[in-house]
Amino acid sequence: MGLRLLVHDWGFWTKDDLYKALYAEGIELFISYGLDGRVTQKEEQDKFKEEFEKRLLEREYDAVFSINFTPLIAEVCNRNNVMYISWCYDSPAVGGTMEQRMYDTNRIFLFDSSELKRNQKVGVNNLHFLNLATNVNRMNSVKLLPAQKEKYSSEISFVGQLYSRELQEIMQLLGPYESNFIQSIVDMQMREQTENIVGKLITSEIVEAITSEELIEKMSKYNKLYNVQEGALRVSTLQLFLLHSATNRERLLLLSLLSKHFKVKLYSPDKHDILNEVEHCGLVSYTDEMPLVFRCSKINLNITSKSIETGIPQRCLDIMGCHGFLLTNYQEDLFTEFEENKDLVIYRSIEEAFDKADFYLKHDGLRRKIAENGYKKVRDKCNYHVQLEKIWKKTGLK
Amino acid sequence: MKILMITYSDKLSAHIAQCFETCGQEVILYEFPHDIDTHQFVVLDETNRADFSNALKNEVYDVIFSIEYIHEISMYANALGVIYLSWILYLPNPDIYRSSVGNLCNAIFACDSTVVELLKSYGAENAYYLANAAISLGNNDYKSKYGASFIEKITILSEEGPFGIESKLSAASRGYIDGMAHCQRLLHDRDVISGNIPQNVRDELLDKYRILTPTDVSVNIDELINYNYFRPYITMQERRIALASMKHVAAVFSDIPVDILDTEEKKIESEEIMKSEEKIKSKEKVESEETLETEEMTGLEENEQLQKIQEKSDKWKENFHDYITDISKRKEIYAQSDINVYITDRAMPSGIAHQVFDIMSSRGFLLMSHQNDMAKHFVCGKDYIEFSNVTDMTQAFIEYGPKSDLRREIAENGFNKIKKEHLMIHRIQELLSVF
C-alpha cells in the first residue's frame, strides 16, 4: 500500500494482531516504544511531547497511529501538521482538553456510538464510528491438547475483572451516609440495562460532598483507571467509579445466581465471598489460553463494563471468533453487525440471563448453530483487514 | 341517565354537572354534610354515612358520579347494584389502593396513564385514561407585565420526617433514600422507587415511620412509601431548587415562607461570599509582593463584590408574593407573563395537572417539567416547552426569553388546541362515549 506510519506502542494487548494486519497491508511501520502518554504531571507531559516529537521528526510519515486517543500525541501531531489516527478500544476513550480533541489533524475512531454522539454534540468532529476487530486465524490456531479439554470445559465461563478489591477500598473511605447514597445510584444503574444514567445523576455537588484527601489519594493509587489529576476529584472520575461499581454488582449477582444451578468457571484475578460455588481459575493469557476457554465452554458470558455504553466490547468478538457461543448483556451497537438469536443471544435482565442460559444448555444443536453463525460474521466482517480498510477510506489515505 | 353527583361546592363540580346536562343527562347534586379530604384515605363519619344512605334510599339512580375515587361510595354502589363513575383529577387519591377498586360496579377514569395501569394491576377491570381539561377559555389579552411567573404552593415537610433535618433514620438508610430521591428527581420519565427499596432500609423506615392504612389495603408497600414520603419530598425539592434558580427573574406567587427562601438565599449568598473571599485571598497570596496601591485596590474590589451580592440578595424579595387562590386572578397573571413556569407535583407520575390547562387556556406561554402524558395531546416545541431538570429550564429561559414572537406563536397554538379539544365538555362527551 506504500504508507508509512509511526505507531505509538503503549503496551496494548491487541498489538500482535494489529501489527500483523498492518504489515500484511504492505504498510511501512515504525514503532515508538517506551513512552507513556498517560502521565499527569506537567513536567512528565512535556518530556513525553519532546521525546515523541523527536521520533516523529526522524522521517516523514503519512500518519501517526495509536490504539486509544492520546491527547499529548494529538498536540504534537497538530503542531507538526501530521495526521493522527486513533482507533479506540476503551470507552470512554476521548480525553484531554476540548482543544486537544478538536485538532484538524485528528482522526478518531470510536466503537461506542453513544460516546461518538456525545462528543459530536459538543462540537468535536473528525470522529468516526468503527467496530473493533479480531484475528480469527490466530485464535483458532491455538491447539487444544486432550489434557486441556478437562481444564477449560465448563457449562458457563466468564473471563473478566470484578473490580472488587479497589471498589471495596474506596467505599470504605466514605461514611455510611455517603457510601449508601452512592450505592443507591449504583443499584439504579445496575437495573438500567439499556442506558447510562450515571451520567445524568452525578453532579458536581455530589462530588464536592464526598471528596476528601484520603479519597483522592486512594483513587490516585488506581490512577491509570481513574485518571485523577492535580489532586482533584472530577465528575467524570466519580461517574467512572460508579459505573465500575454497577458492573461489579451485576457480575457478582449474575455469576452467583448461575453458579447455584450450573457449573460456572471464572477467569479473573479477583475473587469474592459470594461466589463460593463458582470455580475460580485465575488469570488466563489472552493469546494462548483464552481461545481455549471460549472454545471449550458451552456458554461464554459477556457482562460489559458499564463504562462502555453502547459499543461491542472486544470480548464479544473474541468469543465468537473462537466459535464460542455468546450470551451477552444488551449493547445497542451489537445490532450494527449481528442478529439476535441468530449470531448471539442477548439478555436484558439478570432473570432473563438465567432463563436463556438454562434454555441453551438444554439445546445443544441450536447453541452450536448460533455459535457457528456468530463465528462466520466475525470472520467476514470484523477482521482487521476489513476494519483497517474503513480507516484508510475515511482518512483518505487510500 | 339519572346521575347522583357528589359535589364539593366548587366551580369544577358545578361546571361538570352543567356539562353532563348539556349532554342530555339528568344530574342531582349531593354534598356531604361534613367535608371529606380525598387526599387521605376517606373514612366517612356517621353523619355523612347516614345522610348519604338517605339520599340513596329516596331515589333510584342509574349512576353515582364523583370527582376522585372514594372507597365507601364504591361499596355502597356495589351493594345497591348501581354504577359508580369516578374521575380522578387530583392526586394523591389514596383510596385507589383499597380493595374496592376491583368492584364490578366501578368505572374509574384517571387523568394519569400510570395510575390507570396501577388500577388495572389492582384488579380494576374498567379503568380508563381521561385527561384533565380547562373549565373555560381566558378572556384576558396578553400583556407583558411579568418576565416570568411561577404560581404554586410548596409544602414544607416536617423536620422530623424521614427526609427532615431531624430524621430518626440511621445515616446509612438516610443516605440510601436520599440517593433514591435524587435519582427520581432527575429521572422524570419513570418510577425508580417502587419495588426497589432494599429490605433493611424499608424495615427501618416503617419501624420509625409507621404508615397507617385501612386493613383492606394490600398493595406493594413501596408504593405507599413512595406516596407518603418520596413524592412529597421530591416535589418540594424540585420546586425549591427551581425557585432558587429563577427567583431573581420570575414573579413568584407561593405560600412558602420567605424566611426559608431567605435562608436558602443566605446559604447561596454565604457560599458566594466564601468563594469571593477565597478568590480574593488567593489573589492576595499571588500579589503579596506587589505595592500597597495594589492591596488597596484588592480591598476595594472586595467591597464591590460584597455590595453586589447584597443588592442582588435584597432585590428578589420584591418579586415574591402570596399564593393566589382565586382562579380568575391566576389566569390574569398567566396572560400577563412572558413565561409561565409549572412543575407538576410528583404525586402525578405521568398526567397533566389542571394548572397546565389553566395556563394554556389563558393564552399563556407554558414552560413545564416533563410529563409523559403531554405527548398524547400536545406537541412540545409547538404548543408548549418542557424541561427535565433545572439546567434545561434555565436554558429555556435564555432561549425563549428574547423571542417574543415565537413565544406568542406557541402560546396561541396551545390556546387553539385547548379550545378545539381540551375543554371539560369535550371530556364529558368522551367519558359518556366510553361508558
Average pLDDT value for residue range B227-238 = 91
Look at B172 and A176 and tell me if their CB atoms are within 8 Å: yes
pLDDT attached to residue A95:
83
Peptide bond into B198 cis (omega under 30): no
Average pLDDT value for residue range A73-82 = 96
Place of cell 422507587: B193
Question: Tens digits of per-residue pLDDT, B7-33?
Answer: 987 789 999 999 999 999 999 999 999
B193 contacts chain A (CB < 8 A):
no
B119 contacts chain A (CB < 8 A):
no
A229-243, B323-337, B405-419: the lowest-pLDDT one: A229-243
B187 contacts chain A (CB < 8 A):
yes
Q: In angstroms, rounded to a whole number, what is the distance separating the alpha carbons of residues B74 and B64?
A: 9
Strand partners, B341: B150, B367
From residue B410, alpha-carbon distances to A99, B382, B391, B404, B405 in Å are 38, 5, 21, 10, 9
pLDDT attached to residue A223:
54
Phi (first) and psi of residue A59, to 5 degrees: -155, 180
Per DSSP, the three-state class of B74 is helix
Class of residue A256 by CB neighbours under 10 A (exposed 0-12, middle 13-18, buried 19+): middle
B172 contacts chain A (CB < 8 A):
yes
Inter-residue contact B77 to B105 (CB < 8 Å): yes
pLDDT attached to residue B301:
54
pLDDT attached to residue B402:
86
Question: Tens digits of per-residue pLDDT, B369-405?
Answer: 999 999 999 999 999 999 988 888 888 988 898 888 9
pLDDT attached to residue B2:
94
Handedness of CA A60, A63, A67, A68 (dihedral sign): positive
User: pLDDT band for position A36 (50/70/90)?
Assistant: confident
Intra-chain end-to-end CA distance of chain A, in Å:
8
Among the partner residues B179, B186, B198, nearest to A181 by beta-carbon distance: B179
What residue spans of chain A are helical by DSSP H? Answer: 15-24, 42-56, 71-79, 98-101, 113-121, 136-140, 146-152, 164-171, 176-191, 198-201, 204-210, 213-221, 223-226, 235-259, 290-296, 314-321, 350-362, 364-381, 384-395
Among the partner residues A179, A187, A201, nearest to B182 by beta-carbon distance: A201
Among the partner residues A177, A179, A184, nearest to B183 by beta-carbon distance: A184
Inter-residue contact A77 to A295 (CB < 8 Å): no
Average pLDDT value for residue range A270-296 = 92
Q: In angstroms, rounded to a whole number, what is the distance separating the alpha carbons of residues B241 and B387?
A: 14
Among the partner residues B173, B186, B198, nearest to A201 by beta-carbon distance: B186
Per-residue pLDDT for A261 more than 70? yes
The mean pLDDT value of chain B amounts to 85
Percent of chain A scored above 70 by pLDDT?
A: 96
DSSP, residue by residue, B178-191: HHHHHHHHH-TTS-
A313-327, B3-17, B238-252: the lowest-pLDDT one: B238-252
User: pLDDT band for position B413 (50/70/90)?
Assistant: very high
Q: What residue type is B347 in one-letter code?
A: A
Look at B183 and A179 and tell me if their CB atoms are within 8 Å: no
Question: Tens digits of per-residue pLDDT, B256-288?
Answer: 776 666 555 444 444 444 444 444 444 444 444
B177 contacts chain A (CB < 8 A):
yes
Q: Which residues of A touch B178 (CB under 8 A)?
A: 177, 181, 184
Q: In angstroms, rounded to a whole number, what is the distance separating the alpha carbons of residues B227 and A381?
A: 52
Q: Which residues of B touch A177 (CB under 8 A)?
A: 171-172, 174-175, 178
User: pLDDT band for position A224 (50/70/90)?
Assistant: low
Q: How many CB atoms lie within 10 A of CB B397?
A: 21
Class of residue A123 by CB neighbours under 10 A (exposed 0-12, middle 13-18, buried 19+): exposed
Look at B182 and A185 and tell me if their CB atoms are within 8 Å: yes
Pairing of strands A297-302, A154-159: parallel
Pairing of strands A106-110, A127-129: parallel
Q: How many CB atoms lie within 10 A of CB A2?
A: 9
Q: Which residues of B touch A201 (CB under 8 A)?
A: 182-183, 186-187
Q: Which residues of B touch A175 (CB under 8 A)?
A: 171
How wide is the angle at C-alpha A43 spanned by C-alphas A40 and A49, nearest 5°? 85
The minimum CA-CA distance between A230 and chain B, rounded to whole Å, is 17
pLDDT attached to residue B282:
42
Q: What was the ipTM of the complex prediction?
A: 0.78
**Stretch (H or E) spanning B359:** helix B354-361
pLDDT attached to residue B307:
53
Among the partner residues A177, A187, A197, nearest to B174 by beta-carbon distance: A177
B165 contacts chain A (CB < 8 A):
no
Question: Tens digits of per-residue pLDDT, B68-98?
Answer: 999 999 999 999 999 999 999 999 899 999 9
Q: Which residues of A touch B179 (CB under 8 A)?
A: 180-185, 188
Closest CA to B317 of B260, B273, B277: B260
Highest mean pLDDT among A30-44, A183-197, A364-378: A364-378
**Stretch (H or E) spanning B310:** helix B292-315
The minimum CA-CA distance between A163 and chain B, rounded to whole Å, is 22
Q: In angstroms, rounded to a whole number, what is the distance separating the alpha carbons of residues B257 and B341?
A: 20
Average pLDDT value for residue range A6-15 = 92
Per-residue pLDDT for A194 more than 80? no
Q: In angstroms, rounded to a whole number, what is the distance separating the alpha carbons of residues B430 and A15?
A: 67
Q: Which residue has the higher pLDDT, B414 or B244?
A: B414
Average pLDDT value for residue range A54-83 = 96
pLDDT attached to residue B271:
43
Percent of chain A scored above 90 by pLDDT?
A: 66
Average pLDDT value for residue range A239-245 = 85
Look at B176 and A181 and tell me if their CB atoms are within 8 Å: yes
pLDDT attached to residue A97:
87
CB within 8 A of B123, min separation 6: which ones?
A: B101, B102
A40 contacts chain B (CB < 8 A):
no
User: pLDDT band for position A331 (50/70/90)?
Assistant: very high
pLDDT attached to residue B279:
41
Question: Tens digits of per-residue pLDDT, B144-189?
Answer: 888 889 998 887 888 899 999 899 999 999 999 999 999 998 887 7
pLDDT attached to residue B287:
43
pLDDT attached to residue B258:
67
Half-sphere exposure of A59 (CA within 13 A, CB side): 11
Q: In angstroms, rounded to a whole number, what is the distance separating the alpha carbons of residues A64 and A205?
A: 40
Among the partner residues A179, A184, A197, nearest to B180 by beta-carbon distance: A184
Q: Which residues of B touch A179 (CB under 8 A)?
A: 172, 175
Q: Which residues of B touch A191 (CB under 8 A)?
A: 192, 196
What is residue B314's DSSP assignment? H
Nearest chain B alpha carbon to A189: B183
Q: Which residues of B touch A188 (CB under 8 A)?
A: 179-180, 183, 192, 196
